Structure 1
Amino acid sequence: MSNPSNPRPDISVKQLTYSHTPDAPPSLRNISIHLPPGSRTILCGANGAGKSTLLQILAGKRLVTAEGADVRIKGKDVFRDSPPGVTFLGTEWALNSAVRSDIEVSHFLDSVGAVNGYNTERRDHLLDILDVDLSWRMHQISDGERRRVQLCMGLMAAWDVLLLDEVTVDLDVLVRDDLLTFLKKDSIARGATILCKNSPPDATHIFDGLGNFPTYIAHMRFGEFVTEPIPWPLTSSSSVPAETAATLPYAAPSSLYRVALQWLTEDREYRRELEKQGKKTRGARNNALVPSDSETFYKKYDYSH
């Protein structure tokens, strides 16, 4: 997908293939996308589709060495000429021991702001939206509250490109809705670009309230785009595969959940076809040895009977 009226997209990926290790099969295969400034794109797809890997590469967190691959943000190579104004917020932040230390939230935010710089009015607005208590201590708060602090920290400085890796999942419905409203207004006002991932652990929870947020949606499966970023809401002329188009509801912002559910259903059916060929096997295996070695071990030392 490209925008002929703007010769330089904010996010540009060409011929990207990536493997986590040299001997592993590719996690991403021949990815090419072009997202214009001010766009808000949601990546849909089942777990393992490659969404997080793509976001991490765009953030410069994974080095791509494949010949011919070109990954740029704001026209700059993300590895060799890192562009300013790019913010990545991922789920691994909450696992960092530093954010679970005995430090007051106000001191934590001040220390980050001193390094990155921020607008105090913007910071205070985010504190209200995310309902953050500056007197919280990082080691005493819940995962959801810690996520709010992360978002406030990451969004205090104005960004040009925002990469979100499922960081709204821990938020309650009201805070998530307020945050998405803020991000949409911010994107429109400043022409800033958002690319975010959503996955299916609880599709209703994740996609509820997102219908009016994106300008584009895309579908990834096993490291490839089944549907490259297309304008949202969908219309009868949207560029989706023929077998998908016949089942999708059109031109209804509230139907994003149904579109995502349809795509995930197709992903599962596709994988089941692969399973018939002996590939991508998940779930119970009919020919598995029962009991397993571990079951035999624990049964041997089970004194409850």
Structure 2
Amino acid sequence: MISIRQLEFSYSPSARPVLKGIDLEIPENALFGLLGPNGAGKTTLLSILAGLIPCPAGCLFVDGRDMSEADNRSAARLSLVPQEYAFYLPLTVRENLTFFAGVQGVPKAEMDARIHEAAGQTGLEERLDSRAGKLSGGLKRRLNLAIGLLNRPRLLLLDEPTVGIDPHSRHFILETIRQLGRNGTTVIYTSHYMEEVEELCDQIAIMDHGQILRNGTLTELLAEAPQSVRGRQSTLESLFLDLTTRGLRD
């Protein structure tokens, strides 16, 4: 599904590299967890995958298509759900979904059905006429996700979709992501919640300083953990802290 080879990126020629020699193979229908401290390069990598940032070095293929070409990006049917709220607070849920369906090129004849489909997937059917700015934090996260589902993506990029929300909304969003995976959507998912990634993802990569440090299933990662991790209770969190050398970052 996704093949990334020797991806490199800096924001300016004089700046330090943000991504350094990224190599990843992500199979179709995977629920892929991408972990890293703040500043590790996760959001930049997702932005390049989504075509928001051009990549000057390396190769990126989705379904065999070279994503450096604009036509191939359009044909890939991918969607990025950013960590920030990416909708208009004064508009209603329905108005936001209608606007972004138009931006994404949803045909007018299908627009109403797509809006109700996305609202149904995210539990917003009864909130369609509510003003987005009046929604709770959890419902705003669901609206962010609903907008990302309007084009029925085959590849869904989620940047910390459950940050700062209540347990009920977090559970709902995780169940929605599982269902999308069952229905054939490939998901790349960043999070700081280790237990979510352990529970949700069938493949995990840990990155820091713009490099992939480990990549594999949870079982593979823990089996390859250094002795310092295996000597105590072996968890994804303990491996993450060992590899990234710091427990906390601002």
Pairwise same-fold verdict (TM > 0.5): yes
Greater RCO, CA 8 A, separation 6+:
2
Aligned to 1:71: 60
Q: Would you say the 8 A contact 1:59–1:78 is kept in 2?
A: no
Q: Which of 194, 199, 207 is equivalent to 1:207?
A: 194
Equivalent residues in 2 for 1:133-212, closer than 5 Å: 133-190=127-184, 192-199=185-192, 206-212=193-199
Are 1:84 and 2:61 matched, yes or no?
no
Q: Deviations over 1:73-110 (max 9, x none)?
A: 22212221313310111124x2x6x612x222222222
TM normalised by structure 1 equals: 0.69
Are 1:14 and 2:8 matched, yes or no?
no
Equivalent residues in 2 for 1:216-227, closer than 5 Å: 216-227=203-214
Are 1:30 and 2:25 matched, yes or no?
no
Aligned to 1:203: none
Q: 1:236 to 1:38 in 2, by over 3 A?
A: closer
How far apart are 1:36 and its partner, in Å? 0.6
Between stretches 110-119 and 37-46, larger displacement belongs to: 110-119
Aligned to 1:123: 118
How far apart are 1:207 and its partner, in Å? 3.3
Give the SS at the match of 2:39: coil
Aligned to 2:91: 103
Between stretches 156-165 and 28-37, larger displacement belongs to: 156-165
Larger Rg: 1
Q: Would you say the 8 A contact 1:63–1:79 is kept in 2?
A: yes
Q: Deviations over 1:127-152 (max 9, x none)?
A: 42x57612221334444433221111
Q: Deviations over 1:190-232 (max 9, x none)?
A: 2x21111113xxxxxx23444331111111111111102x023
Provide the C-alpha distance between the structure 2 equivalents of 1:41 and 1:127, rounded to a whole number of angstroms. 20
Between stretches 155-164 and 29-38, larger displacement belongs to: 155-164
Q: 1:137 to 1:120 in 2, by over 3 A?
A: closer
Paired-residue identity, %: 24
How far apart are 1:32 and its partner, in Å? 0.4
How far apart are 1:34 and its partner, in Å? 0.5
Q: Which of 233, 237, 250 is equivalent to 1:260?
A: 237
Q: 1:132 to 1:85 in 2, by over 3 A?
A: farther
Q: Would you say the 8 A contact 1:49–1:220 is kept in 2?
A: yes
How far apart are 1:47 and its partner, in Å? 1.0
Give the SS at the match of 1:91: coil
Provide the C-alpha distance between the structure 1 equivalents of 2:171 and 2:179, rounded to a whole number of angstroms. 12
Aligned to 1:112: 100
Q: Deviations over 1:1-30 (max 9, x none)?
A: xxxxxxxxx111001111111111111111
Q: 1:38 to 1:168 in 2, by over 3 A?
A: same
Equivalent residues in 2 for 1:230-269, closer than 5 Å: 230-232=216-218, 234-235=219-220, 238=223, 240=224, 242-243=226-227, 246-247=230-231, 258-269=235-246
TM normalised by structure 2 equals: 0.83
Provide the C-alpha distance between the structure 2 equivalents of 1:134 and 1:227, rounded to a whole number of angstroms. 42
Provide the C-alpha distance between the structure 2 equivalents of 1:143 and 1:65, rounded to a whole number of angstroms. 37
How far apart are 1:262 and its partner, in Å? 3.4
Between stretches 209-218 and 17-26, larger displacement belongs to: 209-218
Provide the C-alpha distance between the structure 1 equivalents of 2:22 and 2:139, rounded to a whole number of angstroms. 35
Superposition CA RMSD, Å: 2.9
